[in-house]
Amino acid sequence: MKDRINVFILKEGAPVFYYFDYAATTPVCKQAVQAAQLAMESQWENPSSLYPGGQQCATLLSAWRDEIAQALGCRGDHVFFTSCASESNNWAIYTALEKNRRKGKHIITTAIEHPSVQNCCKFLAQKGYDVTFLKPNESGIVTAQMVCDALREDTALVSVMMVNNELGSIFPVSEIAQRVRTQDKNVLIHCDAVQGFLHMPFSMQTLHVDFLSLSGHKIGAPKGIGALYVRDKKTLVPLLHGGGQEMGMRAGTEATAQIAAFAAAVAAGRATMQEDMAHIKMIHAYARQSLQRKCRDIVFLLPEEGTSPHILAFSVTGYKSEVLVRVLGDKGIYLSSGSACHKGKASHVYAALNLPKKVLDGVLRASFSAQTTVKEVDALVQEIAMAQDTLYQSLS
Ligand code: PLP
């Protein structure tokens, strides 16, 4: 289990808040803090400098890159550091379209991608690209068949996520990639793996995608660091021109402290992944059972099977999720009414599921980590049950 700092803050012995929003961001684990501190205090030279201190940093940078690569099952020179997964997603999309510009201007993606994919594609649609946003099925995914049915001669890019950040649904990425390739070997394939990384086992050897995006702050690293995996470097066009960093593809002096922390969080996460996954699965099952037993009119958006256990989307039917999030927040229960990126706006993901309005209005997302305890889940369920009573009285 990763050693975290302040999963919930203790004040005079009592927890001030319980955190159920790990899909939005995670606390930075101790290993990452220590690695960042070391990088800032004694490994701070510029990795491009030719004197020994600089070269030592260059060696460390290469080792940190290898750490991410090992977790992906690829070589280090296929991993490019970015500032966040939003940047990785944008870069992957632009580079794929640039490399495939002779093939055409058709993009296939889903209607429930993260905004960093969805809004990038919407922007491109305004610039003359033709984008197919596939609606998910009742399991909250698109199937390989759905993607293949949408393929056209001018399809340049397919972009599908690994795990949906608001539902937890797991997309059959490997099958999609293999079937797309069989039908048209020239289509480039991108996967946003932010919510899958270290939550489920996968390897670039079997995923068959051309580009894959990762984010540090979802796995115990600080904000401000992400990565892009690229299968064939010939498909990559530079994002930032300048000093030749990131193999000439993304200029700017490397954010070594964040990178060190990212590598440390990945190493820590990999070391305990199996036990963490088992714990989170138990917590997910317990939360479902408790909500069902102790609260009224709970509708789970998806069945337990086929979803990543760190995300649980459910509706407190008949109540407004924004009101619940605020009421629960005041009681020290932190969870979300969708992705944090929506900032209270209706979620395009839940809207795509065609839920009855009463169910849609009350959707909450609880997300768990290896640090989440049964006691915390009890507090969550108890406060939802209490909010149901209070809000019922205030509404009646
Ligand atoms: N993709 C998914 C599925 C996410 O959940 C997120 C963050 O919420 C992102 C991309 C964006 O990550 P970042 O905050 O590193 O830009």
For β-strands 106-110 and 130-134, DSSP reports them as parallel
- Classify burial at 115, counting beta carbons within 10 Å of its beta carbon; exposed 0-12, middle 13-18, buried 19 or more: middle
Contact call for residues 207 and 181 (beta carbons, < 8 A): no
Q: Does 172 score more than 50 pLDDT?
A: yes
User: pTM of the predicted model, to two decimals?
Assistant: 0.94
Contact call for residues 249 and 238 (beta carbons, < 8 A): yes
* Percent with pLDDT over 70 in the chain: 93
Q: Which residues are catalytic?
A: 341
Token duo for residue 319: 């109540």
329-364 burial, b at 16+ Cβ within 10 Å, e below that, comes to eebbbbbbbbbebbeeeebbbbebbebeeebbbbbb
Return the residue whose CA atom lies nearest to atom 5 of ligand 1.
165
**229-243, pLDDT tens digit by residue?**
999 999 999 999 999
Token duo for residue 252: 């700017």
Between these two residues, 98 and 338, which has the higher pLDDT value?
A: 98
Q: Does 328 score more than 80 pLDDT?
A: yes
What is the structure's pLDDT at 208? 95
Indicate which atom in ligand 1 lies nearest the CA of residue 340. 8
Q: How far is the CA of 251 from the centre of ligand 1 (A)?
A: 22
- Looking at residue 27, the DSSP 8-state letter turns out to be P
Q: Which residues line ligand 1 (CB under 6 A)?
A: 84-86, 114, 116, 161, 165, 192, 194-195, 215, 217, 226, 339, 341
Q: How far is the CA of 11 from the centre of ligand 1 (A)?
A: 31
Name residue 298's beta-bridge partners.
316
Contact call for residues 86 and 165 (beta carbons, < 8 A): no
Q: How far is the CA of 215 from the centre of ligand 1 (A)?
A: 7
Q: Coil, helix or strand for 103?
A: coil
Four-residue CA torsion sign, 204, 209, 210, 214:
negative
Spatial separation of the C-alpha atoms in residues 316 and 88, rounded to whole Å? 35
Spatial separation of the C-alpha atoms in residues 377 and 65, rounded to whole Å? 36
**196-215, pLDDT tens digit by residue?**
999 999 999 999 999 999 99
Contact call for residues 237 and 122 (beta carbons, < 8 A): no
Token duo for residue 232: 């064939």
Query: How confident is the prediction for the chain on average, in pLDDT?
Result: 94
Q: Does 150 score more than 70 pLDDT?
A: yes
Any residues with CB less than 8 A from the CB of 126 and at least 6 apart, and which?
Answer: none
- Region 91-113: mean pLDDT is 98
* Percent with pLDDT over 90 in the chain: 89
Which of 162, 218, 347 has most ligand 1 atoms within 8 Å of CB, for mutation?
A: 218
Four-residue CA torsion sign, 17, 19, 25, 27:
positive
Please state whether 338 falls in left (phi above 0), alpha (psi between -120 and 50) or beta. Answer: left
Spatial separation of the C-alpha atoms in residues 2 and 267, rounded to whole Å? 10
Any residues with CB less than 8 A from the CB of 173 and at least 6 apart, and which?
Answer: 160, 162, 191, 202, 207, 209
Q: Does 342 score more than 50 pLDDT?
A: yes
